[in-house]
Chains A and B, each alone.
Chain A
Amino acid sequence: MSSPVIVASDLVKQYDEVTAVGGISFEVAPGESFGLLGPNGAGKSTTMRMIGAVSTRTSGRLEILGLDPDAYGPEIRSQLGVVPQSDNLDEELRVRENLIVYGRYFGLPAAHVRSKADDLLAFAQLEDKAKAKVTDLSGGMKRRLTIARGLMNDPRILLLDEPTTGLDPQARHILWDRLFRLKEEGTTLVLTSHYMDEAEQLCDRLVVVDKGVIMAEGTPASLIREYSTREVLELRFGADHNASMAERLKNVGDRVEALPDRVLIYTADGEAELAALTDADIRPLTSLVRRSSLEDVFLRLTGRSLIE
């Protein structure tokens, strides 16, 4: 196996009194799609900024493509594509111009930059918007333009911080499709998300981060296998009764979680559990059997839900 493109060990970022990242370690292999999953404020963006050779680490070891970002920031950044959490496209320039000026920052020749911009406008499905004002684009289009901008230098690693936050479902699916394509072409992706479905869709491997530390690591399937059951039975008894019902049902299934709005029963076979409850004359207002997701893994690891 080729050597990892990112090596982080005991990575720490401290802001005055606040520890944003409290000693995390991970490696990313070339061509891999790696995710940092966690709630807002978990330290994901700070980690991304350190990987992006923008923010300097407080302590720990960090190597991107074999180089230390403290000494080789511009060199590392020349090999990265960065899609930040909030778009920072230049609103005073047109769509295509945004790509051109950005490409120039890598020292690429003007002619190359122009043809690359056209290729990427096609990739981002923005060909007919080339001359549009950035402010006239929809949220999804802006994201795609930002991704296109991040690809101007044919990066070895693409960093995506919350790529689909704030987008409507359709725009998210278009974006995922584009990212899949990059993944298929062998681009290394590193992304953060607080959406479990996004992480399941896009990541080969991920770490669950909470309060600046790694709680678990693995493939989405292995994490679910390890920290959850095959299925989940969701029951709603009404806000006033969920807690007491959870107490009553505590021996049902493998494990029971009480959330304010529902009771979750972790089990290998949800339908069978539900049938047993019906036989025992326990009748919830609504019931639902579903597959376990990373959301359940997170709940198990932290006792909290991802989106609060």
Chain B
Amino acid sequence: MTTIRLPESEALKRAAVKPRRFGAWYVAEHRLRVMRSYVSTVLVGAVGTPLLYLFAMGVGLGALVSANLGPHAVDGVSYLQFVAPALLCSAAVTVASEELTYPIMLGFKWNPTFIGISSSPITPGQIIDGMVIAVTVRLVATSAIYWAFMLLFGAAPAGTAVLSVLIATLVGLAFGIPVMAYVATIQQDTGQIAMLMRFVLLPLTLFSGTFFPLTAMPIYLQWIGWLSPIWHGTQLARIVSYGAQVPAWLIVVHVLFLLVLIVPFWMLSRHIAKRRLSS
């Protein structure tokens, strides 16, 4: 029998310096590698979505609006310019909900890779962080492509429009992270995720001042917009994209609202993951 000399416990205490520091990045690396296996879907979505929506809504519907109400009919700009930042934010939310629903359920339960990862030096919190990093990468990439199409369509006249990439990424996270926290608590999927898509994501998209200003809706529906990260984000994206006029206090509210959905729910997700993986 070979004799194994135990390292001093002191030396061992430094054995996980890299995983402790970079663990979340390793998880993101893993996740991005998985995304590579459906990279064609990601790319088709990233290119096809802006192309279709900007054409249909901006150019198609936009022509109708302009013909009836003039070229500066909505918020002082063309319908295409009005609707483009909102479409960008909605697209980001769709991407985030793709990455932070089923893949989370998969990792905890259906193909429990999270259980596998948690027997390595990686902590449950780092798994959550890694998922967030990976979805952020995908959000930045898809939003940048979207923004490029907006430029191509002449839908983002202001020089600051590039900031809408950042804003859309935040919107995606502001929707996706609370959803992730919820999905992390699901033990048995009996259609909750599908319901969430249909009865939360869809109404939020439709009633968030996406296709028409929030103020154009009856007052009893406007609260949906106020609760929707899509509306708050879209308003910010409109400011940078064509210089929409929004009072300073409201800008602060928009930013705070997004952050409130991101930070506490991110922490909550870490907590839920820890409870679920280390009980």
Residues of A within 8 A of B (CB): 2-3, 5, 15, 30-31, 52, 54-56, 65-67, 72-75, 77-80, 82, 84, 86, 88-93, 97, 101-102, 104-107, 149, 153, 156, 185-186, 188
> What is the CA–CA distance of A88 and B116 in the complex, to the nearest angstrom?
6
Q: Contact: A90 with B116, CB < 8 Å?
A: yes
> What is the CA–CA distance of A80 and B34 in the complex, to the nearest angstrom?
25
Specify the chain A residue showing the minimal Cβ separation from B121: A74
Q: Contact: A104 with B119, CB < 8 Å?
A: no
Q: Is B190 in contact with chain A by the CB < 8 A criterion?
A: no
Known: A105-B30, A105-B117, A185-B2. 7 other contacts (CB 8 A): A30-B3, A55-B278, A77-B119, A101-B26, A153-B120, A156-B4, A186-B4
Q: Is B75 in contact with chain A by the CB < 8 A criterion?
A: no
The main secondary structure of chain A at its interface with chain B is loop
Q: Contact: B26 with A105, CB < 8 Å?
A: yes
Question: Distance (Å) between the CB of B199 and the closest chain A CB?
Answer: 28
Q: Contact: A93 with B34, CB < 8 Å?
A: yes
Q: Is B22 in contact with chain A by the CB < 8 A criterion?
A: yes
Contact of A102 among B7, B23, B120 (CB under 8 A): B120
Contact of B122 among A65, A93, A105 (CB under 8 A): A105
Q: Contact: A105 with B121, CB < 8 Å?
A: yes
Q: Which residues of the other chain, A, contact B14 by a CB distance below 8 angstroms?
A: 75
In order of increasing CB-CB distance, the 8 nearest A-B pairs are A107-B18, A186-B2, A105-B120, A74-B16, A74-B121, A66-B9, A88-B116, A82-B119
Q: Which residues of the other chain, A, contact B17 by a CB distance below 8 angstroms?
A: 107
B153-203 CB contacts (< 8 Å) to partner A: none
Q: Contact: B5 with A2, CB < 8 Å?
A: yes
Question: Distance (Å) between the CB of B176 and the closest chain A CB?
Answer: 19
Q: Contact: B3 with A79, CB < 8 Å?
A: no
B13-47 CB contacts (< 8 Å) to partner A: 13-20, 22-23, 26-27, 29-30, 33-34, 37
Q: Is B118 in contact with chain A by the CB < 8 A criterion?
A: yes
Q: Which residues of the other chain, B, contact A77 by a CB distance below 8 angstroms?
A: 16, 119-121
Q: Contact: B30 with A84, CB < 8 Å?
A: no
> What is the CA–CA distance of A186 and B2 in the complex, to the nearest angstrom?
5
> What is the CA–CA distance of A2 and B2 in the complex, to the nearest angstrom?
12
Q: A77-B121, A106-B121 are known contacts. Are A90 and B16 too (CB-CB below 8 A)? A: no
Q: Which residues of the other chain, B, contact A97 by a CB distance below 8 angstroms?
A: 33
B260-279 CB contacts (< 8 Å) to partner A: 277-279
Specify the chain A residue showing the minimal Cβ separation from B34: A92
Q: Contact: B111 with A72, CB < 8 Å?
A: no
Q: A66-B12, A88-B112 are known contacts. Are A54 and B2 too (CB-CB below 8 A)? A: no
Q: Contact: B9 with A67, CB < 8 Å?
A: yes
Size class of the contact patch on chain B: 35 or more
Q: Contact: A31 with B123, CB < 8 Å?
A: no
Q: Is B113 in contact with chain A by the CB < 8 A criterion?
A: yes
Q: Which residues of the other chain, A, contact B6 by a CB distance below 8 angstroms?
A: 2-3, 5, 30, 65-66
Q: Is B1 in contact with chain A by the CB < 8 A criterion?
A: yes
Q: Which residues of the other chain, A, contact B279 by a CB distance below 8 angstroms?
A: 15, 55
**Mind listing 5 A-B residue pairs with CB under 8 Å?**
A2-B4, A15-B279, A56-B278, A74-B16, A106-B18
Q: Contact: A74 with B19, CB < 8 Å?
A: yes
Q: Contact: A102 with B278, CB < 8 Å?
A: no
Q: Which residues of the other chain, A, contact B74 by a CB distance below 8 angstroms?
A: none
Q: Contact: A101 with B30, CB < 8 Å?
A: yes
Interface flags for B91-122 (1: CB within 8 Å of A; 0: not) read 00000000000000000000111011111111
Most chain A CB within 10 A, of B1, B15, B122, is at B15
> What is the CA–CA distance of A78 and B1 in the complex, to the nearest angstrom?
24
Q: Contact: A89 with B116, CB < 8 Å?
A: yes
Q: Contact: B15 with A79, CB < 8 Å?
A: yes
Q: Contact: A54 with B118, CB < 8 Å?
A: yes
Specify the chain A residue showing the minimal Cβ separation from B8: A66
> What is the CA–CA distance of A186 and B6 in the complex, to the nearest angstrom?
13
Contact of A91 among B16, B111, B118, B277 (CB under 8 A): B111
Q: Contact: B116 with A102, CB < 8 Å?
A: yes
